[in-house]
Amino acid sequence: MKSHSRKTGKRAASSAASNTVLKDASRHLMNTYKRSDMIFTHGRGCYVFDQSGKKYLDFLGGIAVNALGYSYPDLVKTIRREAGRAVHVSNLFHNPFQGPLAAKLAKWSGMDRAFFTNSGSEAVEGALKLARIAAKQKPGGAKKTRFLALEHSFHGRTFGALSITHPLKYREPFEPLVPGVDFVRLNDVADLEAKFTGEVCAVIIEPIQGEGGIYPVSNEFWKRARELATGHGAALIADEIQCGLGRTGKEFAYQRLTGLPDIVIVAKPLAGGLPLGAFLAREEFAASFSPGLHGSTFGGGPLTCATGLTFLETVERKKLLENVRARGAELKAGLKKMAAKFDFIREVRGEGLMIGVDLDVEGAPYVAEALKQGLLINCTHDHILRFLPPFILTAQQAKEGLSKIESVLARTERPAKSAAVPSATAEALALAAAR
C-alpha cells in the first residue's frame, strides 16, 4: 500500500515537472520547431526513453548524430576524463587532440588539412570562404566569386549556407542573401555544363542529399563536376555532414564516386553528439589560408576533439562500417519487400544506414503512429520517411525495426493524397531518368 502511494506520488511529481518544462518552453523558447510534447530523458544503445519511462527504438539517431547510440561507454569515458582536465584552452595554443584528430580525418578522407567548427553550418561557411579565397588568389581570379549548388540541397541556416540551400521556403523569408549562387538540377550534366562558367569558384554537392529526400548523385554527374572544377580552377566541395563519416558504409559517400573532392565538410556524428564540425581540404586549397583569415573561439576544443578521436577509433576498432553495410542491406531488403505489399510506397532509396522510403501520401501520420509503437523516425519533404539508425544497430534490432515499420504501415489510416505530395511530377520523373 505504502509503495503504491510512493509510486503514485513519484508519478504526480514527474508529471508536474514535465508540465513546467513544457510551460517554460512554450513561454520562453523561440518558435522555430514543431515539437511533440514528448520529453526524452535518457538513452542506452539504440534505445531512448521518454519522461514516462516508455522505450523507443531510435531510427532517427538525433538526425544522423548519434552514430554510437546513447551513452556509449567509450564516449562516456572520454567525456568524463576530459571534462575533469580542460574543456577549453582557446585556439591561441595547441591542445593534445586537435592535431591527431585532423591527422585521422586526413587519413579517412584523402584530404590534407582540417579546420574545426561548432556545427555543420559553420563548417559550410568556412568551406565557402576557403573556396572563394583560393579562387581569388589564382591569376585572373578576381572575377571567380560565384557558387554552384544543387536543386533540393540543404547546407544549413546561416546566411552563406542558406544562400546555397535550394528550397525557397528556407531562403525567401531572409532575402537578400549572399549573391552569385546558381542552382543546378540534380544529375543533369547539361545543366551543370551550362552554368559552370569561368566565374564559378566552387560547386558544392551532397553525394547523397539528406534533407532533400535521400537522392544520390550519379557517378556521371560527379565525374563531370570534378572535370569542370579542375578545368576552371574551382573547388569541388562535398557536403558530407549527413552522409559522411561512415553513414553509408564507407568512410565518405564520395568514395563510391570517381574523383576526390577538394574540400570535404563533416559534422553531425563527429563527436558523438557534442557539437563539432570540420572542413577538410587538399593542400592546394588549404594553402590559401594564413593567420587571421579565419577563426573560431570554441571550434576544436580538447573535450570535443578527444571525443571525436574516440568516435573514429571506435568505428575502426569495432569494424562498424561492415555493420553499417550489413544492417543497411537487411533494412533495404525488408523495406523493398514492404514496397511490393503496400502500393503507396513509391521507392526505397539510400546506402548503408541512410534510407528513404518515398510515399505517394503524406508521411506525418506514419511518423506519429511509429512514435505510438515505440519507434523514432522522421519525414522529409512531407512524404519521404527517413531512417538514420546508429551504426551499432544489431541484426535483432534491425528486425525489430522492420517489424515495427510494417505494423505502422499496416495500421495507419491511409492519408488522402495531398497537394504537398507531388504525384510523380515531371521533377520526380526527371530525377529518376537521370539516375
Residues that bind ligand PLP (CB under 6 A): 119-121, 124, 154-156, 206, 210-211, 239, 241-242, 267
The dihedral sign for the CA sequence 107, 262, 171, 185: negative
Query: At closest approach, how far in Å is the CB of 261 from ligand PLP?
Result: 14
For residues 68 and 388, which CB has a smaller minimum distance to ligand PLP in the complex?
388
Q: E-strand spans in 233-344?
A: 235-239, 263-266, 277-281
Query: At closest approach, how far in Å is the CB of 285 from ligand PLP?
Result: 19
DSSP state of 39: -
Q: Which single residue is written with the C-alpha cell 525488408?
A: 334
Q: Which single residue is written with the C-alpha cell 570554441?
A: 298
For residues 378 and 407, which CB has a smaller minimum distance to ligand PLP in the complex?
378
220, 253 contact by CB (below 8 A): no
For residues 212 and 334, which CB has a smaller minimum distance to ligand PLP in the complex?
212
112, 289 contact by CB (below 8 A): no
Q: What would the grid cell of residue 340 be?
A: 511490393
For residues 56 and 154, which CB has a smaller minimum distance to ligand PLP in the complex?
154
Pairwise CA distance, residues 332 & 201, whole Å: 38
State the residue number with the nearest CB to ligand PLP.
120
Q: From residue 323, give the alpha-carbon distance in Å to each of 330, 363, 391, 400.
A: 11, 28, 7, 16
Q: Which of 88, 241, 273 is nearest to 154 (CA)?
A: 241
Count of beta carbons in the 10 Å neighbourhood of residue 166: 20
Distance of alpha carbon 264 from its chain centroid, rounded? 13
For residues 248 and 412, which CB has a smaller minimum distance to ligand PLP in the complex?
248
Query: At closest approach, how far in Å is the CB of 60 from ligand PLP?
Result: 12
Query: At closest approach, how far in Å is the CB of 254 from ligand PLP?
Result: 13
For residues 215 and 285, which CB has a smaller minimum distance to ligand PLP in the complex?
215
For residues 170 and 289, which CB has a smaller minimum distance to ligand PLP in the complex?
170
Give Dmax (Cα) for the chain.
84
For residues 152 and 155, which CB has a smaller minimum distance to ligand PLP in the complex?
155
The residues with which 177 forms a beta bridge, in sequence order, are none
Q: Which single residue is written with the C-alpha cell 592546394?
A: 284
Query: At closest approach, how far in Å is the CB of 312 from ligand PLP?
Result: 18
The residues with which 349 forms a beta bridge, in sequence order, are 356
267, 238 contact by CB (below 8 A): no
For residues 91 and 378, which CB has a smaller minimum distance to ligand PLP in the complex?
378
Q: Which of 367, 320, 271, 354 is nearest to 65 (CA)?
A: 271
The SS3 of residue 155 is coil
For residues 205 and 361, which CB has a smaller minimum distance to ligand PLP in the complex?
205
- Give, rounded to a whole angstrom, the gap between the first and last alpha carbons of the chain: 66
Query: At closest approach, how far in Å is the CB of 222 from ligand PLP?
Result: 16
Query: At closest approach, how far in Å is the CB of 55 from ligand PLP?
Result: 26
Query: At closest approach, how far in Å is the CB of 356 from ligand PLP?
Result: 13
Query: At closest approach, how far in Å is the CB of 78 from ligand PLP?
Result: 21
228, 221 contact by CB (below 8 A): no
Q: What would the grid cell of residue 233 be?
A: 580552377
For residues 61 and 156, which CB has a smaller minimum distance to ligand PLP in the complex?
156
Query: At closest approach, how far in Å is the CB of 244 from ligand PLP?
Result: 9
Query: At closest approach, how far in Å is the CB of 225 from ligand PLP?
Result: 16
Q: E-strand spans in 17-123?
A: 40-44, 47-50, 55-58, 113-117
